[in-house]
Amino acid sequence: MNKFFLCLLFCIGGFFPAWAEKPQGKNSQKNKLRVMSFNIRLGVAKDGPNRWELRKDLVVRTIQKFKPDLLGLQEVFPMQESYLREKLPEYLYYGRSRLVDPKEGESCSVMFKKDRFTLTEKSTFWLSETQDEPGSKSWDSSLPRIANLIRLADKQAAGKKLIFINTHFDHRGKKAREEAAKIIKNRVSTVEKGARVVITGDFNSGEGSKPYQFLVGGNLIDTFRSAHPKRNEEESTLTAWKGRLIGNRIDWVLCSPKFRVLSAKIDRTNEQGRYPSDHYPVTSILDYK
């Protein structure tokens, strides 16, 4: 009897990891999707000791530390685009300026790992009453505002379809922010069956605002609140260049319910009190359901 049980334990101990533990861990790692939203602060701003030239390496190190699969960037000017393309060669880049000239001025761009995804479509739409008109603005928007959208096939997850939208809402126009949220929500409601959606952005709106209420719920999840159900006052996503903690969380990562939210954070990276931007990057790790 003792020999029988010893033999049985040996067989279970040797056999179980080979068919269950190892493949499960491997597949779980494959399906993880690391997402970052990062307002890198426009490079033409006169920020003195916080100007782009003095912090651009820290911006790159912050991105490299998290290793996002999908990266949504806001306030990207052409010289910043060139620098990021050079320093992050493992990513492909898509960005179109919000102005009539696609290469002039500020963009909210996307980057994605080229060895993981196949790009199937890219487009830009304006957050206005004339969404296909370059440079257009409506309502009380102070500037033209856009969203850049890409469609991807995830080679690492059996070709699952993914729609990635990155945006930057107006900083002054309250009505413009509300209407922009409706535009994006309508876009999400028309995606093809089976496609997952990830949205990043600087929404210039806090949790509980009308833009937030229009977007979050139903077919979109706020990843940070999903990971941290209890709200607290130290959720600011603005650094004020000093590491501010108290304030509104205006930078979000949203996703469709076809993802599980494994984690979500406000990245407080700094080096001896120098911050990479006037915004903290926000991150999420998702898993396909």
Q: How far is CA 6 from CA 17, 21, 33, in A?
A: 18, 22, 42
In angstroms, how far is the first alpha carbon of the chain from the final one? 45
pTM for this structure?
0.90
Is residue 248 within 8 A of residue 231, CB to CB? The reply is: no
Q: What is the pLDDT of residue 193?
A: 82
CB burial class (10 A; 0-12, 13-18, 19+) of residue 205?
buried
Question: Which domains does the chain possess?
Answer: 32-288 (3.60.10.10)
Token reading at 102: 């696609």
Distance CA 165, CA 108 (A): 10
DSSP code for 258: T
Tens digit of pLDDT at every position of the chain (289 positions): 455 444 444 444 443 333 333 344 555 677 899 999 999 999 999 999 999 999 999 999 999 999 999 999 999 999 999 999 999 999 999 999 999 999 899 999 999 999 999 999 999 999 999 999 999 999 999 999 999 999 999 999 998 999 999 999 999 999 999 999 999 999 999 888 889 999 999 999 999 999 999 999 989 999 999 999 999 999 999 999 999 999 999 999 999 999 999 999 999 999 999 999 999 999 999 999 9
Q: How far is CA 240 from CA 3, 249, 253, 277, in A?
A: 70, 13, 21, 9
Per DSSP, what are the bridge partners of residue 255?
198, 221
